């Protein structure tokens, strides 16, 4: 029998069919199919499988039977051995040998032998022939008997010998052949198959059968003797007993299926294919062994156990794979991220540690990255090469599964879902319980903790698909659905979408919801009316700032820039910023107080204040009174921004709702920016809970990527919250938001402005059209009537009526939107009745006339709300009317009490004050809560409340609360005992009302309502009775009012803070003033009343600079209380000189700025006239006081009564004031001098020519004549007298009389007398006769006659004596044209031509004065009369000579003829342009009319002086064409451009669009031809265009607007390509020249005009070539002109360009060359030091601070560290290194800020240098016998240098030097003839500010003590007036005085006070003594407080009514 194992192995080695099949199957499943199930295999594989089945199906059957015995033997619990192919043991029964132990009283081994026979054709039957076969047949009995005998010879315990086959017997055949089948009925577990029964048979053959004989012949070998013998009958019987046929068994396919089930039962699985295959494969491996070995039951169990482990392993692998797939569904990473993780894993896998950790915030996401990375490693490419499990899953794993971990996978990846991992030992126990099993095994834990490898989750790591999925994720954003893509911008998404955000967006189940922010009040979009924003800065503001700061315009532009929309961009910081800001505020306070309201016309549409793309950190402070719609405007902005840019984040916060959060805001944190972001994250709904929302908000705030913050109601929070809010705002501004909006009422805008350094905007009230639109729109919507026209008509009538019936400021009553809305609401029902029921409109209008004001309007509103509520209640409660009425009244009373209490709590923040006003309730808390809830419910229906974001009730508008509180307080003042409440009965309440509520800024709204409410009381008859009898000593005034007034006065005296009376004046509360004055008159002494109002007279000594129109006592009287002035004079009894002086000062300073207008009524006229009459009378009565006051002003302010030209103008303009002209003139003349009056008249005339027509001048003249002050009259401006011929005649006559007295008597001639008389009387014929006679007498033979005639000619030709006028002047002014011609004809005839032309142009000539005075006065008629007569009489040459007699010719009409201070910039320019236009065209007409050659002469006039070309733009088109016709268009254009180039002040000014717009296209082409033509110069040829640009640059180094206008206009008219040709006309060399010299603004203009392609080409050219040339040019400047620092006029721009564009090599060359030391004429210098000299000495137009900041920023950005060190420390000449000079020139604070911009390794050497060299530098400056030189330098350089050098000494001096500090800086030295100390030079310098003084003295106090401060403050330079603090007082430097005073101790302050009060009496001191004391009074000691031991400085801006920070923390006083 062939060994099947050998055959199988042999076939495997031959590459047989079996081998091929096995290889194919191995590739597919790694095991042969157990069940023979079909599978998807290729056709060739199928053929191979069929071959396998034909050849080896029996072997497979055998293997499966072996597996069957193995499984069932183990299941039966046998201890067995299983063998196969052991022929030496089993003979032919060697397919299966099954030996097992049986314990039946003793253990024995039982053997079963089996031969398997598998047939593919199962229809085959076993026949007798097969059994009787004597060869090797499958079923040969002889063969099997022989094997049996061999087994038997070993005496084995045989259970049976089995033939196992899948076919059955042919029973009939067997019976025929004598073979009997005996069924075996005993159980055999091995062959029991469910649903497949098998049969077991034994066979029986009778002994007599022939076959027995064959059996007996079988040789049997004796075991012992080895002798063979024949078989015995016993042996044959034994064989038939043990020989068993098992037939009809399952075939190998079915058997495989059954086995799979068996295996499934063993493993308790429904599906066990894999396990069966696994066992079969193991059996096959055992079967194939060459050496046959038994498999024991233990080994079999191991196979099954391995299968179980394999099952567990596969199950865990499957779980691992599924787990990874589930994780991968969420996120996917790109190749870069996977590669990064691969590198990390390689390191971890190579490490010796068994347990490794990857620290990650999101283990599950990192797991995806790890999974993908493992696939890239060869060892882990397959899914089952490692396990990945969650930590939670591991803990739930069964013990058997955990055991599998110890056997199988080498890598376990644990994902800690909650982020926290177990101890390492836990994981070691998982993968192995001994060191052997731990070998080559690794656990990688993904968790939060650990110090090893870190993995971060980043947006950029995601795959493209995953990115797209994330970006397409929808987010609910502020009410709209937005994608993440839209909310984030390309390029910064990785910053927004951080790991937490990705987790939320990818995994989060909820949609991210970022809701609308805060409570955004709903407003009706249909009714909303957009208004205009009033801009504080107009065209003139910057010019004023330039004048105030003594800076050039360019210098100021280096410090700040004001955008078109009035945002201030600051380029300086610290002290300098504070000083500039203080100056800006002063300017705007002047403007606010002035009568000129033209600045209010500087407006922009509301929509222009919404943020644009380019906005960065823009701050918008909106400040206006209550009800103007600030909050509604923000809501509108909010809506518009959300609609227009829904992806922008708009944060709107009502600050009142965030008081708690504001109080908790930590303003002391170092990183305020972070704190601000935290604040918003914590206080915006849902943001704190959403990582994406947090990240998005943080990113937007940090980058300015579409973020706007709106803070509403700054004025509605308490002071503590305001300070916190300001800290929050400052912190917000450290972020990069696009815009920040803050709204407030005006009383707190100063606080915001000072913090933000921005001016507040105000809203323009509704104009009449807006009012009509709102009213009609509201009524149409509410009434729902189809009568649009009628509704609008009613609205128009109401608005018109109100505009006429309301007076003064009340006219803007319904211009306030809230009040307009209330009017609409209140009169809604009346309008309905008019439309629907035909009621009369007149009744409504009459109702409006009946005292409509703020109080009555709100009364109407509350009455209407009350009535509506009552009606609604009545509908619900159907009860008896009487009962209902009483119930409703009680209910209404409860509601009103609730509303009142809520109002008080809304307005008052202090709980003690609330308790004082409302009292404390005795009810229980539960009762109070119940009542509160009940009242709340009703109050909501009342229509005045709404719910805020905290679900708390609040008023719809704060003014409702203010009205209710005011009404409550007003109840305490009512005169009727039945109506008044008891508020004033308690002293605490009286003091609270009198000293807090009627004073505090936060109560302004309440005060306003009280003022209106009191109107009813002060107009009541009972009040007039009180006032009338108040003077009666027996009158008993109400005690509560007496107590109220006494306590008010007492509190004021104690605190010296603001009091209610003065506040009423400041806020224009006339009725409060009235009742308080009445109370005061009935309670206090007169001097006590004056003491209450004395603070209103503060700041009068700044009157020459500070002009106010309101906010002062006089303006208040004039505008609100005309009888108040008389009352004031009544309090003044003349006994107190102080008050006389104060009142006189007030009148002197403020009277000119009272707004004198047409009175509304006869009564008003009478009162106004009486007011001024009393005013002037008081001033005349106290003229000595006035004179003493005004003569104290310094010389520069000696234009005494200058501002009173405004009063004079008003008195002249309005006829009813004419009677006051005489006292006004007398006042000026009696208190000052003639010159003062003349100046006033001159200024009045120049500024208000429109009001100086003939009648006005004659009125003034009449007054002077009546006062017999003709001597003053004749001093008045000549051009003014030109306008009034009658007055002029009087003046002429006066001069004639004076001349006759002086010189005419000696030469008196009847002819002269007669000539003057006839000319004066206008007798032309008589004059003509006289002149004819004189002409004849010139030829007389008589010398005397001839001489007299010549004298007459001279008299006619030139001015004589003191008379400034000639007879021709008289004739021209009086309009005597015929007489004028007669005189001209006479002169023309009698004088030779040369003498005639000389007389014509002479200043004293006969026409010069008349012509130029007429021109200057703008009297065109006179001008034309003169020109026409000259032309016709003397010829056009004479006309030309006359006009050319002054070099400026036409343009002599300049700003000198108009005082710009009196005009707005727009009006000023308009008036100036109009005058030039009229005069220029009048001259052109006169010179060209009726004269063919006229334009030739006019052409000569224009071009005789190049400045005249500026007038061309004013010429009419016909005159301009006429001019061009003289030379032809092309030549004329050349002439024009030649003149423009010579006009070096601003070459482009004459070529702006005003002139170019007059050219047609053909003329423009001529212009372009001319401008691009070349000019030949000695050295080179240059184009006109280049020359023009060069001139423009030199005249304005930064920008020429006229060049821009010219370019824009030409481009507009002729196209873009024309501009390209112009700009690049010289191949771009002009542009390069502009770039090389740093004229960046003009360069930008030129580049902007080019198309993008040309622009880019030019930029590239400049980048490639220009910077190299610039380097060469810059580096060549100093050696050529080292002693001319002006050659560096634009050096900063040049250096900036170099640094921006230079290469590394060029920059290195720059540093080396710039610091190279040259020596010329024994003087050393370097480029760098020369450049620094120029910058630091401020010889360039660029401001130092701006220049330094620009320079250092570029140095830090572009230069290497070593190069920066070289520049910073370069000092080869001994002038000190750059940074030291920086400290000395700009101060240590700014210098440090600049140095901080540099890298850290540069800052350190600087600090070391200072530390090492500071004392040596100080020694050189202060101790090397050079003090006089230093003093001279300090005086010369001035500004901040002087104080900075002392500060440097203090900061860097060593111990010995500091000990000498005081003596060094206070020692007196001679500088020339003057005595001065270093401290004196620094402290007494004009430009040394209070902040620098404060900083310096603070440092002195800290280092040297307060005694040193006192010594410095009281240091005397020369005499008593030069004591430092006295000098400051004398100069009115109040802020410096306060700064000095702050650091004195009490003893020092007393010394100063004593010094001021007891100055010695000598002339100078007497002169300044009064001023010193007044100024000392202004230095209010209450302005100095101590906070935490540090001095805090406060100053108060005049008229502002609030404190202003001056560099130190703000402390509220009083």
DSSP annotation string for 1783-1828: HHHH-HHHHHHHHTTS-HHHHHHHHHHHHHHHHHHHHHHHSSS-HH
Q: Which residue has the higher pLDDT, 1036 or 99?
A: 99
Residue with tokens 């601070």: 1745
Is the pLDDT confidence value at 1989 over 50? no
Range of 197-206, 666-675, 1243-1252 with top mean pLDDT: 197-206
| Percent of the chain with pLDDT strictly greater than 70 | 76
Confidence of residue 563 (pLDDT cuts 50, 70, 90): confident
Rounded mean pLDDT, 663-685:
85
Q: What is the pLDDT of residue 1453?
A: 43
The average pLDDT across 936-953 equals 65
pLDDT tens, residue by residue, 1219-1254:
888 999 988 888 888 888 888 888 887 776 656 666
* Band of pLDDT at residue 1677, cut at 50, 70 and 90: low
Decide: 1878 and 1834 in contact? Cβ < 8 Å.
Answer: yes
| Residue 1917, C-beta contacts closer than 8 angstroms, at least 6 positions apart | 1868, 1875, 1876, 1877, 1880, 1884, 1923, 1924, 1927
Question: Residue 176 has what pLDDT?
Answer: 92
Cα–Cα–Cα angle for 345, 350, 352, rounded to 5 degrees: 125
**How far is it between the farthest Cα atoms of the chain?**
212
pLDDT per residue over 77-104, tens digit each? 889 999 998 888 889 998 999 999 988 8
Q: What is the pLDDT of residue 1614?
A: 86
pLDDT bucket at 1931, cuts 50 / 70 / 90: low
What dihedral do alpha carbons 212, 218, 222, 225 form, nearest 10°? Answer: 130
The residues, any chain, with a CB within 8 Å of residue 1930's CB and separated by 6 or more, are 1921, 1968, 1971, 1972, 1975
- Asked whether the beta carbons of 1954 and 1926 are under 8 A apart, the reply is no
Give 366-391 pLDDT, tens digit per residue: 999 999 999 999 888 888 888 898 88
Counting Cβ atoms within 10 Å, is residue 1702 exposed (0-12), middle (13-18) or buried (19+)? Answer: buried
Rounded Cα–Cα distance for residues 800 and 803 (Å): 5
Whole-angstrom distance, CA of residue 1048 vs CA of residue 867: 40
Sign of CA dihedral 1975, 1981, 1983, 1987: positive
pLDDT tops 80 at residue 2014: no
What's the mean pLDDT in 475-490?
87
Each residue's pLDDT tens digit, 801-860: 877 766 555 556 677 888 888 888 888 888 888 888 888 888 778 777 766 777 777 888
Contact 1875, 1917 (CB under 8 A): yes
Interatomic CA distance for residues 1206 and 217, integer angstroms: 163
- Count of other CB atoms within 10 angstroms of residue 232: 13
CB 67 within 8 Å of CB 279: yes
pLDDT score for 999: 92
Contacts of 7 (CB under 8 A, 6+ apart): none
Name, in order, each residue with C-beta under 8 angstroms of 106's C-beta and a sequence gap of 6 or more: none
- Which residue would you say has higher pLDDT here, 1203 or 990? 990
Please give the residue that has the higher pLDDT: either 272 or 1298: 272
pLDDT band at 1993 (very low <50, low <70, confident <90, very high): very low
Task: Give the model's confidence band at 599: pLDDT under 50 very low, under 70 low, under 90 confident, else very high.
Answer: low
Residue 1458: what pLDDT? 39
- Choose from 393-407, 821-835, 2000-2014 the range with maximum mean pLDDT: 821-835
Do residues 576 and 1745 lie in contact, with contact meaning Cβ atoms separated by under 8 Å? yes
What local confidence, expressed as pLDDT, does residue 1692 receive? 59
How confident is the model over 1603-1654, as pLDDT tens digits? 777 888 888 888 888 888 888 888 778 887 777 666 777 787 888 888 888 8
Q: What pLDDT is recorded for position 1693? A: 63
Please, what is the end-to-end C-alpha distance for the chain in angstroms?
A: 126
Query: Is 1994 or 1188 the better-scoring residue by pLDDT?
Result: 1188
Q: Which pLDDT does position 1236 carry in this prediction? A: 82
Name the pLDDT band for 998 (thresholds 50, 70, 90).
Answer: very high
Q: Is the confidence at residue 1741, as pLDDT, over 70?
A: no
Question: Hunting for tokens 């030391």 — which residue is that?
Answer: 1717
* pLDDT tens digits along 775-817: 898 888 888 888 888 888 888 988 888 777 665 555 566 778 8
pTM: 0.58
pLDDT for 213-228, tens place per residue?
A: 998 998 888 887 888 8
Q: Which of 96-105, 149-158, 279-288, 1459-1468 is the least confident region?
A: 1459-1468
State how far the Cα of 1230 lies from the Cα of 1269, in Å rounded to an integer.
12
Q: Quick check: 897 pLDDT over 90?
A: no
| Bigger pLDDT: 854 vs 1395 | 1395
Contact between 1853 and 1888 under an 8 Å Cβ cutoff? The reply is no
Q: What is the pLDDT of residue 130?
A: 92
Whether 1663 has a pLDDT exceeding 80, the answer reads no
Handedness of CA 983, 987, 991, 994 (dihedral sign): positive
pLDDT of residue 898: 84
Per-residue confidence (pLDDT) for residue 174, from 0 to 100: 92
- Residue 1664's alpha-carbon distances to 51, 84, 1639, 1690, 1703, in angstroms, are 83, 93, 18, 22, 10
pLDDT tens for 1539-1593 read 877 765 444 444 555 677 788 888 888 888 888 888 766 556 678 888 878 777 7
Confidence grade of residue 438 (pLDDT, cut at 50, 70, 90): low
Q: Which residues pair with 743 in a beta bridge?
A: 622
**Mean pLDDT, the chain, as a whole number?**
77
**Which pairing describes strands 442-447 and 355-360: parallel, antiparallel, or unpaired?**
parallel
Res 205 pLDDT > 90: yes
- Nearest residue to 95 via CA among 110, 87, 85, 105: 85
**Residue 977 burial (C-beta neighbours within 10 Å; 0-12, 13-18, 19+):** exposed
Interval 118-134: pLDDT, tens? 999 999 999 999 999 98
What pLDDT is attached to residue 195? 82
Tell me whether residue 1406 is exposed, middle or buried, using C-beta atoms within 10 angstroms of its C-beta: 0 to 12, 13 to 18, 19 or more: buried
pLDDT at 166: 93
Q: Per-residue confidence at 178, pLDDT binned at 50, 70, 90?
A: very high
What's the pLDDT tens digit per position in 317-365? 888 889 999 988 889 999 999 999 999 999 988 888 888 999 998 999 9
**Residues facing 181 on adjacent strands:** 203
């Amino acid at each position: 029998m062939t060994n099947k194992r050998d055959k199988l192995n042999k076939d495997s080695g031959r590459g047989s069919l079996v081998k091929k099949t096995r290889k194919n199957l191995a590739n597919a499943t790694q095991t042969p199919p157990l069940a023979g199930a079909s599978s998807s295999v290729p056709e060739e594989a199928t053929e191979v499988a069929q071959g396998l089945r034909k050849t080896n199906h029996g072997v497979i059957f055998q293997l499966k039977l072996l597996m069957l015995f193995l499984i069932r033997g183990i299941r039966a619990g046998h201890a067995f051995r299983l063998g196969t192919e052991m022929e030496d043991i089993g003979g032919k029964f060697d397919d299966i040998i099954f030996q097992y132990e049986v314990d039946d009283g003793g253990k024995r081994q039982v053997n079963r032998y089996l031969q398997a026979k598998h047939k593919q054709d199962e229809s085959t039957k076993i026949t007798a022939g097969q059994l009787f076969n004597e060869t090797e047949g499958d079923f040969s009995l002889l063969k099997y008997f022989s094997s049996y005998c061999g087994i038997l010879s070993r005496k084995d315990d045989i259970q049976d010998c089995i033939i196992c086959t899948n076919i059955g017997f042919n029973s009939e055949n067997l019976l025929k052949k004598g073979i009997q089948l005996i069924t075996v009925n005993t159980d055999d577990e091995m062959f029991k198959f469910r649903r497949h029964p098998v049969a077991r048979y034994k066979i029986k053959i009778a002994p007599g059968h022939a076959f027995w004989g064959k059996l007996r012949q079988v040789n049997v070998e004796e075991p012992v003797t080895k002798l063979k013998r024949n078989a015995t009958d016993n042996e044959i019987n034994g064989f038939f007993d043990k020989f068993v046929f098992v037939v009809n068994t399952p075939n190998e396919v079915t058997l495989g299926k059954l086995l799979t089930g068996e295996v499934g039962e063993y493993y308790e699985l429904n599906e066990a294919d894999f396990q069966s295959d696994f066992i079969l494969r193991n059996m096959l491996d055992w079967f194939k062994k060459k050496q046959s070995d038994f498999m024991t039951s233990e080994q079999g169990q191991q196979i099954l156990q391995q299968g179980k482990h394999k099952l567990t392993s596969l199950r865990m692998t499957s779980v691992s794979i599924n787990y990874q797939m589930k994780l991968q569904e969420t996120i996917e990473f790109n190749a870069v991220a996977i590669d990064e993780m691969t590198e990390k894993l390689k390191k971890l896998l190579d490490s010796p540690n068994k347990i490794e950790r990857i620290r990650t915030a999101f283990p599950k996401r990192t797991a995806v990255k790890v999974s993908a990375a493992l696939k890239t490693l060869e060892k882990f490419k397959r899914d089952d090469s490692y396990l990945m499990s969650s930590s939670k899953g591991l803990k739930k794993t069964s013990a058997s599964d955990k055991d599998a971990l110890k056997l199988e996978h080498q890598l376990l990846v644990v994902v800690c879902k909650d982020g926290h991992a177990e101890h390492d030992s836990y994981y070691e126990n998982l993968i192995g319980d001994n060191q052997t099993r731990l070998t080559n095994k690794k656990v990688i834990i993904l968790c939060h903790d650990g110090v090893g490898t870190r993995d971060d989750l980043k947006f950029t790591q995601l795959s493209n698909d995953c990115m797209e999925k994330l970006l397409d994720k929808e987010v609910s954003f502020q009410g709209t659905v937005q994608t993440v893509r839209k909310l984030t911008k390309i390029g910064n998404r990785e910053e927004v979408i951080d790991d937490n955000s990705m987790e939320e967006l990818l995994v989060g189940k909820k949609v991210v919801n970022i809701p609308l922010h805060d409570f955004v009040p709903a407003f009706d979009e249909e009714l909303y009316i957009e208004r205009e924003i009033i801009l504080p800065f107009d065209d003139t503001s910057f010019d004023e700032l330039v004048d105030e700061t003594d800076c050039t315009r360019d210098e100021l532009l280096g410090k700040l820039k004001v955008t078109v929309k009035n945002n201030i961009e600051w380029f300086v910081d610290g002290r300098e910023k504070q000083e500039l800001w203080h100056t800006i505020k002063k300017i705007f306070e002047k403007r606010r107080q002035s009568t000129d309201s033209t600045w209010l016309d500087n407006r922009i549409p509301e929509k222009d204040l919404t943020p644009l793309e380019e906005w960065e950190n823009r701050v918008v402070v909106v400040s206006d009174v209550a009800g103007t719609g600030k909050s509604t405007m923000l809501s509108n902005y909010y809506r518009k921004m959300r609609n227009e840019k829904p992806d922008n984040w708009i944060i709107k916060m009502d600050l009142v709702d965030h008081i708690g959060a504001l109080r908790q805001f930590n303003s002391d944190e170092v990183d305020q920016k972070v704190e601000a972001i935290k604040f918003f994250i914590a206080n915006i709904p849902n943001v704190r809970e959403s990582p994406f929302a947090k990240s998005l908000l943080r990113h937007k705030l940090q980058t300015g990527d579409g973020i706007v913050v709106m803070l509403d109601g700054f004025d509605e929070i308490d002071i503590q919250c305001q300070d916190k809010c300001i800290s929050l705002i400052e912190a917000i501004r450290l972020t990069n938001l696009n815009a920040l909006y803050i709204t407030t009422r005006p009383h707190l805008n100063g606080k915001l402005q000072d913090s933000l350094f921005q001016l507040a905007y105000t809203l323009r009230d509704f104009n009449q059209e807006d009012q009509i639109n709102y009213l009609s729109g509201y009524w149409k919507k509410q009434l729902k009537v189809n009568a649009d026209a009628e509704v609008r008509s009613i609205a128009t009538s109401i608005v018109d009526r109100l505009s006429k019936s309301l007076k003064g400021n009340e006219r803007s009553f319904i211009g306030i939107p809230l009040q307009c809305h209330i009017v609409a609401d209140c009169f809604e029902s009346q309008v309905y009745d008019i439309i629907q029921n035909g009621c009369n409109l007149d009744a409504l209008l009459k109702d409006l006339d009946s005292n409509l004001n703020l109080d009555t309007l709100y009364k109407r509103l509350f009455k209407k709300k009350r009535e509506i509520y009552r009606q609604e209640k009545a509908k619900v409660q159907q009860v008896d009317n009487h009962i209902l009425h009483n119930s409703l009244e009680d209910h209404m009373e409860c509601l009103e009490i609730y509303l009142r209490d809520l109002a008080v709590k809304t307005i008052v923040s202090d709980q003690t004050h609330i308790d004082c006003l409302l009292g404390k309730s005795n009810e229980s808390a539960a009762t109070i809560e119940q009542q509160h809830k009940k009242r709340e419910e009703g109050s909501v229906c009342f229509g005045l409340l709404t719910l805020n974001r905290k679900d708390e009730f609040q008023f719809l508008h704060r003014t409702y609360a203010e009205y209710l509180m005011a009404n409550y307080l007003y109840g305490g003042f009512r005169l009727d005992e039945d109506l008044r409440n008891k508020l004033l009965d308690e002293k605490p309440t009286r003091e609270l009302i009198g000293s807090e509520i009627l004073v505090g800024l936060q109560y302004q709204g309440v005060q306003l309502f009280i003022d209106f409410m009191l109107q009813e009381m002060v107009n009541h008859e009972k009040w007039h009775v009180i006032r009338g009898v108040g003077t009666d000593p027996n009158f008993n005034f109400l005690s509560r009012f007496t107590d109220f007034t006494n306590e008010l006065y007492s509190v004021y005296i104690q605190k010296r803070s603001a009091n209610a009376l003065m506040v009423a004046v400041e806020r224009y509360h006339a009725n409060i003033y009235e009742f308080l004055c009445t109370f005061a008159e009935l309670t206090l002494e007169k001097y006590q009343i004056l003491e209450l109002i004395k603070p209103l007279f503060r700041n009068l000594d700044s009157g020459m600079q500070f002009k106010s129109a309101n906010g002062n006592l006089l303006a208040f009287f004039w505008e609100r209380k005309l009888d108040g002035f008389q009352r004031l004079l009544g309090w003044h009894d003349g006994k107190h000189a102080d008050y006389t002086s104060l009142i006189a000062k007030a009148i002197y300073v403020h009277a000119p700025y009272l707004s004198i207008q047409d009175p509304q009524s006869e009564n008003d006229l009478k009162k106004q006239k009486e007011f001024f009459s009393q005013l002037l009378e008081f001033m005349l009565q106290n003229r000595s006081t006035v004179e003493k006051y005004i003569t104290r002003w310094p010389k520069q302010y000696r234009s005494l009564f200058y501002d009173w030209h405004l009063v004079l103008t008003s008195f002249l303009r309005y006829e009813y004031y004419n009677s006051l002209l005489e006292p006004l003139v007398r006042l000026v003349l009696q208190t000052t001098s003639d010159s003062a009056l003349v100046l006033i008249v001159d200024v009045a005339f120049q500024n208000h020519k429109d009001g100086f027509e003939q009648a006005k001048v004659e009125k003034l003249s009449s007054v002077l004549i009546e006062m017999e002050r003709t001597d003053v009259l004749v001093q008045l401006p000549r051009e003014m007298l030109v306008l009034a011929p009658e007055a002029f005649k009087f003046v002429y006559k006066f001069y004639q009389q004076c001349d006759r007295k002086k010189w005419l008597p000696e030469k008196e001639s009847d002819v002269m007398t007669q000539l003057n008389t006839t000319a004066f009387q206008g007798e032309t014929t008589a004059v003509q006769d006289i002149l004819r006679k004189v002409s004849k007498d010139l030829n007389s033979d008589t010398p005397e006659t001839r001489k007299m005639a010549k004298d007459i000619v001279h008299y006619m030709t030139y001015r004589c004596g003191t008379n400034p006028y000639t007879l021709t002047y008289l004739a021209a002014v009086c309009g005597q044209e015929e007489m004028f011609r007669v005189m001209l004809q006479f002169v023309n005839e009698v004088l030779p031509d040369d003498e005639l032309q000389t007389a014509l142009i002479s200043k004293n000539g006969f026409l010069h004065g008349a012509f130029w005075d007429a021109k200057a006065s703008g009297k065109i008629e006179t001008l034309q009369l003169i020109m026409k007569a000259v032309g016709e009489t003397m010829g056009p040459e004479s006309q030309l000579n006359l006009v050319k007699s002054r070099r400026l010719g036409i343009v002599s009409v300049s700003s000198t003829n108009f005082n710009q201070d009196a005009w707005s910039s727009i009006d000023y320019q308009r008036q100036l342009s109009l005058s030039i236009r009229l005069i220029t065209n009048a001259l052109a007409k006169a010179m060209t009319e009726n004269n063919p050659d006229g334009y030739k002469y006019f052409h000569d006039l224009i071009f005789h002086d190049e400045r005249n070309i500026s007038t061309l733009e004013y010429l009419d088109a016909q005159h301009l064409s006429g001019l061009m016709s003289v030379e032809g268009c092309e030549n004329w254009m050349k002439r024009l451009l030649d003149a423009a180039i010579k006009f070096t002040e601003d070459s482009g000014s004459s070529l702006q669009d005003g002139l170019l717009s007059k050219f047609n296209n053909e003329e423009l082409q001529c212009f372009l031809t001319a401008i691009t033509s070349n000019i030949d110069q000695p050295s080179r040829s240059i184009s006109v265009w280049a020359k023009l640009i060069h001139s423009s640059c030199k005249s304005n180094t930064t920008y020429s607007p006229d060049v821009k206008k010219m370019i824009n206009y030409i481009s507009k008219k002729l196209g873009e390509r024309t501009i390209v040709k112009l700009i690049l006309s010289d191949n771009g060399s002009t542009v390069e020249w502009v770039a090389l010299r740093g004229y960046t603004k003009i360069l930008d203009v030129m580049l902007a005009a080019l198309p993008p392609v040309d622009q880019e080409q030019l930029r590239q050219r400049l980048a490639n070539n220009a910077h190299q040339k610039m380097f060469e040019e810059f580096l060549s400047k100093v050696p050529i002109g080292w002693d001319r620092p002006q050659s560096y006029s634009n050096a900063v721009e040049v250096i900036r360009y170099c640094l921006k564009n230079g290469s590394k090599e060029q920059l290195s060359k720059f540093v080396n060359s710039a610091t190279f030391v040259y020596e010329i004429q024994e003087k050393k210098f370097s480029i760098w030091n020369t450049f620094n000299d120029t910058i630091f000495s401020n010889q360039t137009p660029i401001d130092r601070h701006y220049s330094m900041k620009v320079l250092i920023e570029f140095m830090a950005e572009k230069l290497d560290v070593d190069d920066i060190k070289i520049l910073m420390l370069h000092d080869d000449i001994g002038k000190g290194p750059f940074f030291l000079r920086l400290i000395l020139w700009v101060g240590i604070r700014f210098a440090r800020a600049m140095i901080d911009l540099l890298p850290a390794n540069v800052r350190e050497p600087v600090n070391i240098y200072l530390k090492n060299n500071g004392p040596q530098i100080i020694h050189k400056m202060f101790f090397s016998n050079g003090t006089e030189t230093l003093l001279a330098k300090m005086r010369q350089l001035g500004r901040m240098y002087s104080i900075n050098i002392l500060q440097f000494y203090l900061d860097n001096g060593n111990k010995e030097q500091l000990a000498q500090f005081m003596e060094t800086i206070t020692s007196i030295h001679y500088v020339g003839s003057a005595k001065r100390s270093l401290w004196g030079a620094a402290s007494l310098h004009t430009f040394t500010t209070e902040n620098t003084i404060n900083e310096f003295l603070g440092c002195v106090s800290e280092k040297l003590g307060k005694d040193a401060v006192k010594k410095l403050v009281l240091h005397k330079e020369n005499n008593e007036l030069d004591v430092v603090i006295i000098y400051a007082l004398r100069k009115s430097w109040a802020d410096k005085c306060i700064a000095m005073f702050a650091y004195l101790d009490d003893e020092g302050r007393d010394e100063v006070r004593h010094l001021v009060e007891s100055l010695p009496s000598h002339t100078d001191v007497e002169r300044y003594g009064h001023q010193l004391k007044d100024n000392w009074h202004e230095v209010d000691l209450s302005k100095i407080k101590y906070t935490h031991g540090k001095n805090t400085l406060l100053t108060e801006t005049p008229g502002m009514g609030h404190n202003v920070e001056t560099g130190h923390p703000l402390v509220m006083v009083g």
